[in-house]
Structure 1
Amino acid sequence: MVNIKYTLCAEGQRYGAGESNLKESLGRPLDSNGCTVFLCTAGCAVVFINFQKCVLKRGDVVFLFSDIVFAADKVSNLFSVLYISLPDEAVEETLYKLTSISFWDFIYGNPICRTSEKQYALLYGWCQQTRWILEDCMPENRQVLLSNNVYNLFTAVDSELKRESVYLSNKSKRDRGWTLAGKFATLLAEYCHVNRDVKFYADKLCITPDYLYKLTQKTMGMSPKEVIDQQIIVEIKTYLLNTDLSVKNIASELNFEDPSYMCRFFRRMTGVSPISYRNPGAHSEIL
C-alpha cells in the first residue's frame, strides 16, 4: 500500500513546526499527528474538514486531532500558515486534563476559529515560542516546556470561549456518540482501502449500522455510506495527483475489482473522469 498522506514532520521526526503555503499538500489528506495547529497569516484557501468545505483566511486558527480528516483543496498565491504538529505523547496528558464538555463541543464543531487582532498576536507568539522549544531548547527541558505550552494554549482558548460566551448549549454535549464518530473516522482512514461496507465499521465499533447512521448524521450531517464514499474520493484524488499509478493500479490499491466501476463511481461523485481530473488544467491550485 502506498502511503500518500501529507506530513508536516521531516523524515524521521515526530514533531513539526514552521511556515507553509500547503501547496505540496493539495489533493492529499493531512497526517494530523496527535494534534496540529494552523494559524493562517496571509491569503486564503479552500479546505475540507471531515468532508465539509470551508474557507480558511488570515486570522483563522485551526485545531486538528487524529480523528479529524483535513485536506487542502485550493490555495491563493499569498496563502501562508504557521503550523505546529505534535505527536500523541506530547499532548495526551494535556488533553486528558481538559474535561470541559463545552470546550470539546466547540472545538469539534468549529475546527476553524476566527480570532481578534489581539488573539491573533497571542497565537502568533505561541507558535513562535513552541517552535523555539522544538528546535532550540535543550533536550532535557523540552518535554516539560512543551507540555506546559500546550496546556497553556488550550486553557487560554477555553478561557476565551467562556469569556465571549460562544460555547454551544448543553443539548449537544460531546458524549459517547462524539467519541464513536471520531473512532469511525480513524477506522475509515485505516481500512477504507480494503473495505467500504457500513456493517464492517459498525462491527468494529461494536454498534449497529442504524446507530452508526444516527451518529454520522448528528456529527457530520451525512450517512455512513456518504462518509465512506467521500473518503474514497479523497483517496482516489490523492493517488491521481501524487502518484504515476495507472487508473487500473489505483483501482487495485483501493480494492475495486473493476477499474471501470471505479471510473464510473469517480465521475458520479465529482462530475469528471479520473483522467480528466489528473490533467493539470482540470485542477487549479489558485483561488
Structure 2
Amino acid sequence: MDTSLLSSLSGIYYEESNLDFLLPSPLYFNCGVQILCVHGNGVISTGAQCFHLQEMSEIIFWDGSIMQLLHSSDDFQVRMVLYPKRVFLQAAVSLDTTFFNYMREFPLYNHGQEKDAQSWEKVNLWLDMAKMLFTQPAGLFKERLELNFLQSMLMWIFSTIPDTYVSVARSYTRKQLLFHRFMHLIHEHALREHQVGFYADRLCISSRYLNEITVEYSKGKTPKELIDEQLTVEIKVQLNKLDLSVEEVAGICCFPDSSYLSRFFKKHTGITPKEFRNREKGKRLD
C-alpha cells in the first residue's frame, strides 16, 4: 500500500491486504478506517490498546487512529476501506452522535457469534459495493457516490447498534464502562494531555478511583503508565516525519523542550529520538 494515502486521502479507498505495511513502525491514519478480518488472525496496537483480530471480526475508527501490526498468522488477510474525513463529516452530519460515541468506545466487533452470522454477510456486501465503486478510475459522480455510499452504510450500521448497545450497557459494570471511556480519551488526547488529573476530571471521578479502575482492567497498569504508552507511540509517529526537527516534535507533543522529550522517550524505549530515527531510516533502505 502507498502509505502517503494515509495523510492525503482524496477519496474513498478500498484494498485487500495482510497489513504488512503496518509491521515496521506505527502509522497515523488521518482518515476513517474500516477493517474486516477474512482469514487468520492478527494483533493491532493503537498505543495503549491492543485489538485481537480474528476471522469474522471488524474494527472501525471513524476519526482516524495510530495503528501498528504487532504480529499475525501467515494466512492473515483483511478487507480495508479508508474514508476521507471530509466525506465522513458530510455523511455523519444528520446522524445521532450517541451511536458514534458507542463505536468510539467499542471499535472492535466480532460477527463470529452465531446470532451475528447474517451481519457478517451483510457487511461484506457493503465492502463488495465499495470494491466495485472505488477501485475504478473516478467518474463524473464520484463525490455523490462516496457520500451516498458512506451515509447509507452508516445508517445500516447504526440500525444494528441499539440492541447491541443495550446488551453491552447491561453486561458491563460502571467501572468497565469508565475504563473504556478512559482508553478512548487517552487515544484522543495523550499527544497533548500527559497528566492523570485531566482524564479523571473528564470522567468526573477522582484520580485515585481512576487508578483503581485501570489497575483492575489493564493487568495492573496505572493510568499514568497507559497515558505514557500512548504518548510514546504518538512520539514515534511524529519522529517518522523527517521534515520535523526533534525540537518541533517536542512542541507538538507539549514537552517544554527537546531534552525533556529525549529523556521521556529514552526512558520508555531505551533509545534516543535520534537513534530511533536512524533505525527507521535503515529499515526504509532495506
TM-score (norm 1): 0.64
Name the CA distance, whole Å, in 2 between partners of 1:242 and 1:212. Answer: 38
The residue aligned with 1:115 is: 112
Q: Say whether the 8 Å CA contact 1:49–1:71 is kept in structure 2.
A: yes
CA apart distance, 1:90: 1.6
| Alignment pair present for 1:269 and 2:268 | yes
Q: Does the Cα contact within 8 Å between 1:9 and 1:16 map onto a contact in 2? A: no
Partner in structure 2 of residue 151 of structure 1 = 155
Structure 1 residue identity aligned to 2:129: Q
Report the equivalent of 1:124. 124
Take 2:156 and 2:34, find their aligned partners in 1: how far apart are those partners? Answer: 14
Mapping 1:83-94, distance limit 5 Å: 83-86=80-83, 87-94=88-95
Task: State the Cα distance separating 1:40 from its structure 2 match.
Answer: 1.8
Is contact 2:34–2:61 with CA below 8 Å preserved after alignment?
A: yes
Tell me if the contact between 1:90 and 1:146 (Cα under 8 Å) persists in the aligned partners: yes
Partner-residue secondary structure (3-state), 1:115: coil
Residue 57 in structure 1 maps to residue 27 in structure 2? no
- C-alpha separation in 2, matches of 1:145 and 1:246: 41
Residue 170 (structure 2) aligns with:
169
Contact 1:28 1:72 survives alignment (8 Å): yes
Cα 1:198–1:179 change in 2 (3 A) is closer
SS of equivalent residue, structure 1 residue 129: helix
Across the aligned residues of Structure 1 and Structure 2, the Cα RMSD in angstroms comes to 4.8
Shift of 1:179: 6.4
Q: Partner letter of residue 115 of structure 1?
A: G
Q: 1: distance between equivalents of 2:81 and 2:225? A: 31
Q: Residue 228 of structure 1 corresponds to which residue in structure 2?
A: 227
Unaligned runs of 5+ in 2: none
Q: Percent identity?
A: 19
| Distance 1:97-1:47 versus aligned 2 partners, 3 A rule | closer
Query: What's the TM-score, normalizing by structure 2?
Result: 0.64
Describe the superposition over 1:130-174 as per-residue Cα deviations: whole angstroms up to 9, x where unpaired. 344556694556534432222113424656x59xx9645255479
CA distance change for structure 1 residues 147 and 7 in 2, over 3 Å: closer, same or farther?
farther
Runs (5+) with no aligned partner, structure 1: 1-5
Is contact 1:16–1:85 with CA below 8 Å preserved after alignment? yes
Hey, what does 1:237 align to over in structure 2? 236
Distance 2:280 2:76 in 1: 20
Give the match for residue 31 of structure 1. Answer: 29
Question: What secondary structure sits across from 2:29 in the alignment?
Answer: coil
Does structure 2 retain, via aligned residues, the 8 Å contact 1:40–1:56? Answer: yes
Q: Secondary structure at the match of 2:194?
A: coil
Contact residue 187 and residue 230 of structure 2 kept, 8 A:
no
| Residue identity matched to 1:265 | F
Letter in 1 for 2:81: I
Give the C-alpha shift of residue 69 in structure 1.
Answer: 4.6
How many residues align? The count is 265
Measure the CA separation in 2 of the matches of 1:48 and 1:188: 15
1:234 offset after TM fit, Å? 0.5
Residue aligning to 2:194:
196
Q: Does the residue aligned with 2:10 lie in a helix, a strand or coil?
A: coil
Q: Secondary structure at the match of 1:169?
A: helix
Higher relative contact order, structure no. (Cα contacts within 8 Å, ≥ 6 residues apart): 1
